[in-house]
Amino acid sequence: MGKIERGERNVTVLNVKRVAGALNLPIATLFERAGV
């Protein structure tokens, strides 16, 4: 996660799905909270 936050790695759709699952949130909610 740190490399993503520092811009050292790009986020793939699969990773977005994994993060959303770990946070028990729908993917759409992650994007809403990010202002996307």
Torsion of CA 22, 26, 29, 34, to 10 degrees: 40
What is the structure's pLDDT at 21? 94
What is the structure's pLDDT at 27? 93
**What string of DSSP letters covers the chain?**
-HHHHTTSSPPPHHHHHHHHHHTT--HHHHHHHHT-
Percent of the chain with pLDDT over 70: 100
CA 27/CA 15 separation, integer angstroms: 11
What is the structure's pLDDT at 4? 76
pLDDT tens-digit profile of 1-36? 788 778 888 778 888 899 899 999 999 998 898 888
What is the Cα 35 distance to its own chain's centre? 12
Contact of 20 with 27, CB cutoff 8 Å: yes
What is the structure's pLDDT at 23? 93
What is the structure's pLDDT at 29? 93
